[in-house]
Every structure is written in structure tokens, then in C-alpha cells.
Structure 1
Amino acid sequence: MLREFLTKLNTAWDSGHYLSALVQAETAFRGPPPGHDGAFFAQVLAWARSYVGDTQGAREAFGSAFPAGTATEIPAGARQEEAVGAIVRAAKERRVVILNEAHHVPMHRAFALRLALALREEGFTHFAAETFLPGVAELARKGYPSLGMGHYSKEPVFGDLIRNAMRVGYRLVPYEPEGDVQSIEAREQAQADNLQRILQRDPTARVLVYAGFHHVFESPDPLGNVWMAQRLKDLAGIDPLTIDQTTEAAFPVTTSAVLRSANGVFVTLGQYAGRVDIQVLHPREVLVGGRPSWLREWLGRKPVEVPSALLPVAQRVLVQAFVAGEGSDAVPFDQIVAEPGRKLMLTPGRYELVSQDDMGRILARRSLEVR
């Protein structure tokens, strides 16, 4: 039953039928198949909500099963420092930077986009993402993020991270092992082996690695698991700059910041303390009209009304904005489940707008230019 559910769900996502996938995830979350842990379906629902722009709903679904890691208090004498600049300065002599994310939090991808652009200016050449499938380099020749590049990259902000990485000249490279890898040990070692091969093939390569959660650990976790970053460090004989951004601050943070002690050493907290080099703490997500404020503040987007022709009369619909000229397999630039007052968040340019029902059927199309 689980295999059938996952096959149907992934078929919907692979086809760009995001609302259909959301409905399937909601149904499974409300009534998990007998014998299956509801935590898995909470995670799936979190992904599905994040893909359609419901960032708060994604956090709520994930948090129902997995409490967020929290930095409870700022250590005495520690000071906050703007994160992107601090990381770029720390990365000057490094060949590899490894940044993590929570797979249900698009805000992390927005920060990764900002960091990727800054690191490109400093000579980083390759962008290696956990989500990338083996054919990503071939698909990158199309010049836009496509549905076939990976799983998490189907989310629109991740798509824009890829779009911008390609625009500034990053080479997209996969590093996940192919096939069904059963153990943490086998997967982490295969990831490290693949990244080592990238470094060996091109001695001038400098790689931004974008991974999930604990893959950034440079020392074993409490259960003794050895993760990718530590294995790569031992295998390649290099010291990657490892960065956590998944820990939430329980104290005020006004901008994405790192902590330094009074003597200038980076401070890391919670389960990542002593296991990564740097920890980025983000401000609490604030919604304006149902959309997170970082879309405007970090990515320069502005709210755009959905044309009335695309709004539903009596059914639930997904409204998507595609960059004009990108192919039919493109990842949307933005998308929302239509609700009163909810707007698309777009940058200046030309778009093709589409409304889609929960079966993946196209209901209406409109062209739009944002000035």
C-alpha cells in the first residue's frame, strides 16, 4: 500500500500536478495506512505544502512529528554578525562549502541563493545538491530548472536557486549514490566518494554542496553515525566549511546572522554544537498576505494580483507563474493555492500564468508582464 501511494504521489510531482500531490498527501496524513508511522506522512505533507507556497503550513505539518531544533539562549559575550559576508570571508581558502537545509523550508533555499551568488563572486565553480539526479548536467543545457532534475528542486524557490546558479555560471553536479542504498553508512560514504571524484577530476574546482540536515556533521552523531562531511574530510584530506541553518533561535534575530564569541570564534548551538564550523540563525518567518516577507526582502519580489480569469468559482485551484520562454517541464517561478487576498510574488519580467485543478487539468492560461 505504501509503495502504491509513493508511486502515485511521485507521478503527480513528476508531471507537475502539485495540487493533486497535495491532496494525496493530505489524505494520507489524515489516515495513514495500517502499520505505518504517521511521522512519515507528516513529512510528506510538509513537502507538499511547501511546494505550493504554504510555508507556514509546511512548518506546522513537519513540527507535528519532528520538533524543531532550537538554540535557547545566546551565550554570554557572543555577538551577531551578518551571515553571508561572514561565510564568504571564512570560505576564502576553502575548496568546499557544505550548507544544509530542512527540506520543507523554502526560506533556507532563499538564503542558499544569496550565498551561492556571493560565493560565485569568490571563485566557486560547482553547485552540488543532494536532490540532483544523475542526468542533471544534461538537463541544465536547457537553461532553466526542470522537473526532472530532482525531487526537492521541484519546489519553486529551489527552482529559482538553480535558475540563478546556472545564470552566473555554476556547473550543476550530482553526488547522491544511484540505486537503493539501505544504510546511513553506505549512503554517506557514497556521497563522500562522489564529491571526492568531482575534486579529483578538476583540481581547480570549488564546490558549494547543498545537503539536508545532518549530512554537514564533521563528527559523529550521538548514535555514532559518521556523516558525509566528516567522511569527505577524511577521504579528500581537506577541511570543508560546514554550515547549519536549520536551528531556530529562541532569542531575537533581526537578520540572518552567525554568532561569534568575544574572541572572534564562531559559536554553534544545539545538536550542531561542535559538529559544524558555522551556524546561521534566521529571523522568524513573517507572513504578509499569506506570503513570507523574505520573498520581498531577500529576493526582490513584489506581490502581483492573480487575474480574475484564473480564480476559482467553486473549486480549489493552483495558480502557477512560469517564466515566459521556459519549457513545458519547467519548475514554476511561483505558485499558490488560490485564496482571497493571496498574491503571487514575482520579479519584473514576462510570465505565463496557469490555473490547475486537483487532477492536474489546466483550467485557464494568461500571459502577464510585471514591470
Structure 2
Amino acid sequence: MNKLSVISVLFFCVTTLVHAQKNKEPYKFIEDINTKVEIDTVPWKYQLAATNLATIGNYKKALEMWDKQGGSVPELSKKDSLNFMQFKPKDAKDYIINRAKKERLVIINEAHNNANHRVFTTSLLKGLYKNGYRFLGVEALDDTLINKRKFPIMDGGSLYIQESQYANLLKEALDLGFTLFNYEYKYVKGKTAKDREMEQAQNIAKMMKGNPKAKFLIHCGYDHLNEGTPGIKSWEKAMAARVTEMTGINPFTIDQTTSSERGNAAWNNSYIKLANSKTSVIMVNSKDQTFNGGIDDARADCRIIHPVTVYENGRPSWLTLDGKRKVYTIKKDSITEFPVLALAYRINEFENDGIPADVIEIENKEQVANMILHKGMYRIIIKNRHYETILDYQKQIK
């Protein structure tokens, strides 16, 4: 079994786990996450820890934790290098929004420990809505009231939704006017990974049949967008290919995961280095064909090549959504003990089981404690090492 297959198998297990998981303190201190990894014996412990680190806004450490599963310096054949050089970079956001005008179904994936992928999908929403997209399907959702409530809640799905950038993605979609729906399968003991792919596709096909003139955006994990042969052979076909079978519609599939940075820069995909871009790009040749990997790679229609992250005071610069979000620096004069967790909730969402718009751990008094937030009123909650609230105040972000 190759590495991709192993990862897919483990995430099948993790997805089952996190859908059932009820966690009193989902936002944990780094020390507690590391301690659990040391004593945990499950084979997917690094994946779960990486997800937990992402959930407290620590993108860098989440990547580094993921890398503990192993990796190697990537090699690229001369043939693949020459093939890649035929393509030129185009801004990924602009390309997708323009291409989507002639599509009815767009499927984009994510790595569950990589909040950048969720932020990038968020950046597409306004343009896609303008181009007629009205439905957003997500696999992590289990909340029948979200379209009425207009914001996600802690118990509204899997562990992934509790991460701020996932919640922000859903909130942004709701504010724009998207209808959200869950396409995940119903877990029953005895069902297989193949059953999951089939049932996911059936749920999407049903929504499309019920809304025959609507356009759909699907945000999925990893290999579910695979239109070729998936990493797990027992799947036979992944969700995206099954959707095509059931609807006759060929989706526009966008892979974010394969050419994204690793925690160890030496393990970065070779195409990141070859593209050498400061922005997220899709490579297009003179025939208007998109680069999707190797010469015979049928995984997806195109591959986003994200640049290596630039950090500003410890926070990824892409969190600002090209300046649409603002930086709020927490004043630490009233904080007398460290470390602390800082959580920023949209007004009226904390008391209604909402999910914070941003979370950071402030490790010491010298740290620049920047939160990245849209304009609006927020409730800021500061918790000490014992998860006790020591500060609770409101702040207007202008």
C-alpha cells in the first residue's frame, strides 16, 4: 500500500471518529496536544494532533506535526520537468471564477490540517455567487438548522468545523446567500470506504436533481475529488467520478492538496519550487490546458500551486484575505498569567454555541498577539492554562 493509500485509510478512520467525538475543550493548549501525542497509540495520532493544532490557529505547527508521519525530498523526472515548463502561471482565484462561468459543478478539496485551503475556498465564494452558484456542499456538516440560523455551531458536524477558518468559510457562504448542505454518508457498522464514496455521490446527485438549474460548489477532503483511479483501490471510483456516473455532469475538479507546502520545506512538492510564485497559481499552456500533475495524471482537472507561507508576527499573511480582514492586536496589560488562549466570537454567537472567528495561543508577554478578523463587533474571551475564563470583553473591529 502506497503512502497516499495509507493516509486515505487513516482519514476514513479519523472521519468516523471525529463525527462521533464530543469534546468539552476543543481548543487546547499546545502542551496538552503534544502530551496526548506522546501517550496516544492510535496510528492516526499525528493526523489528529495536526488537526487540533490547526484548530487553535497554529498553522505552522500543524504542518510540522503532520510531517511526523514521514516524508522525503521529492524528485521530478526530466520528462515531467520539461512538460511543466510548457505551462505559464495564472492567478488561481481569477482563473477558477472565470472558468466556473461555463461549469455547473465545481469540486475543490482540502487537507484537513491546512487552513490555507479553507481560506482559499472562502476567497472564491463572492465571485462564484456572482456567476450563479447557489449551493455549497460540505462533508463535515451535520446541522439541519444552519441555513436558518446563519452560522455554524460547535455540535454542527465533525471536529473540522470547529476550526475557525472552516467556520468562517461556512459563515461567509451563508452571508452571501448560499444554501449549505451535508453530503456525507451515514455511518453504520459494516459499511465500507466504497460505500462512503457511493453514498456521498448519491447525496450530491439528489441535490442536483432537485435543483436542476442551480450551480454547485463542493468542498471535500483529499482524494474524494479524484476523477481517475483513487489511492485506495477498493474504492474503485471516488466520489467525484461517481457523481459523473450518476448525473452525466463532468465536474470541474481543483486539487489544492498535492502542491501545498509541508512543515519541512525540503519535502515541498517540486512544482512549488518550479512555479516560484508569491501567489496561488494554476498553470495553463498555450492550448488553454491546465496543469494537473504528471503527464498522464487524471486525478483532477487542475492543480493549485500555493506559495510558501509568509508569516507576519507568527500569523500567515493569507489569513487577511488580501486585506479584507483586519489585524487586532490584543493588549496584554490585563493578562497576568501565561500561556493563555484567546478566542474571538462574533457578537451573539458565543452564547448560542457558535464557533470563534479566530483562536490563538499567547505563550508569553513578549509575543505579538494578533488576531485576524473581519470588521464588526466581537466578544473576546481569554482562558488560562486551566481553561478558566480570566477576561471577557467586547471589541469593535473597524
Q: Same fold (TM over 0.5)?
A: yes
Matching residue's letter, 1:106: A
2:294 matches 1:290? no
Q: Work out which of the residue numbers 380, 389, 397 in structure 2 matches 1:353.
A: 380
What is residue 145 of structure 1 aligned with on the other side? 152
Separation in 2, partners of 1:283, 1:192: 32
Deviates more, 1:164-173 or 1:263-272: 263-272
1:256-294: CA deviations, max 9, x gaps?
Answer: 110112322111115993221111111111111110011
Q: Closer, same or farther in 2 for the Cα pair 1:242/1:17, shift >3 Å?
A: closer
Separation in 2, partners of 1:30, 1:271: 41
Q: CA deviation at 1:322?
A: 0.8
What is residue 362 of structure 1 aligned with on the other side? 389
Aligned Cα root-mean-square deviation (Å): 2.6
Q: Closer, same or farther in 2 for the Cα pair 1:331/1:207, shift >3 Å?
A: same
Paired residues of 1:69 and 1:247 also in contact (CA < 8 A): no
Q: Work out which of the residue numbers 57, 63, 78 in structure 1 matches 2:61.
A: 57
What is residue 160 of structure 1 aligned with on the other side? 168
What is residue 260 of structure 1 aligned with on the other side? 284
What is residue 335 of structure 1 aligned with on the other side? 359
Number of aligned residues: 357
Separation in 1, partners of 2:70, 2:113: 12
Q: Closer, same or farther in 2 for the Cα pair 1:312/1:189, shift >3 Å?
A: farther
1:159-217: CA deviations, max 9, x gaps?
Answer: 11111100110001000011246422110000001111101111122110000010010
Separation in 2, partners of 1:204, 1:289: 46
Matching residue's letter, 1:203: P
Identity of aligned residues (%): 24
2:292 matches 1:242? no
What is residue 47 of structure 2 aligned with on the other side? 43
Matching residue's letter, 1:111: F
Paired residues of 2:284 and 2:290 also in contact (CA < 8 A): yes
2:179 matches 1:171? yes
Q: Closer, same or farther in 2 for the Cα pair 1:84/1:272, shift >3 Å?
A: farther
Q: CA deviation at 1:148?
A: 2.2
Q: CA deviation at 1:319?
A: 0.5
Q: Which runs of 4+ in 1 moved over 4 A?
A: 68-74
2:92 matches 1:83? yes
Deviates more, 1:172-181 or 1:195-204: 172-181
Q: Work out which of the residue numbers 219, 228, 247 in structure 2 matches 1:219.
A: 228
Structure 2 regions of 5+ residues with no counterpart?
A: 1-12, 260-271
Q: Closer, same or farther in 2 for the Cα pair 1:17/1:267, shift >3 Å?
A: closer
When normalised by structure 2's length, the TM-score is 0.83
SS, match of residue 395 in structure 2: strand
SS, match of residue 147 in structure 1: coil
Separation in 1, partners of 2:350, 2:152: 9
Q: Work out which of the residue numbers 194, 198, 215 in structure 2 matches 1:206.
A: 215
Paired residues of 1:101 and 1:212 also in contact (CA < 8 A): yes
Q: CA deviation at 1:156?
A: 0.6
What is residue 269 of structure 2 aligned with on the other side? none
Q: Closer, same or farther in 2 for the Cα pair 1:68/1:363, shift >3 Å?
A: farther
Q: Work out which of the residue numbers 115, 119, 134 in structure 1 matches 2:124.
A: 115
Separation in 2, partners of 1:110, 1:274: 26
Separation in 2, partners of 1:116, 1:237: 25
Q: CA deviation at 1:357?
A: 3.4
Separation in 2, partners of 1:343, 1:41: 29
Structure 1 regions of 5+ residues with no counterpart?
A: none
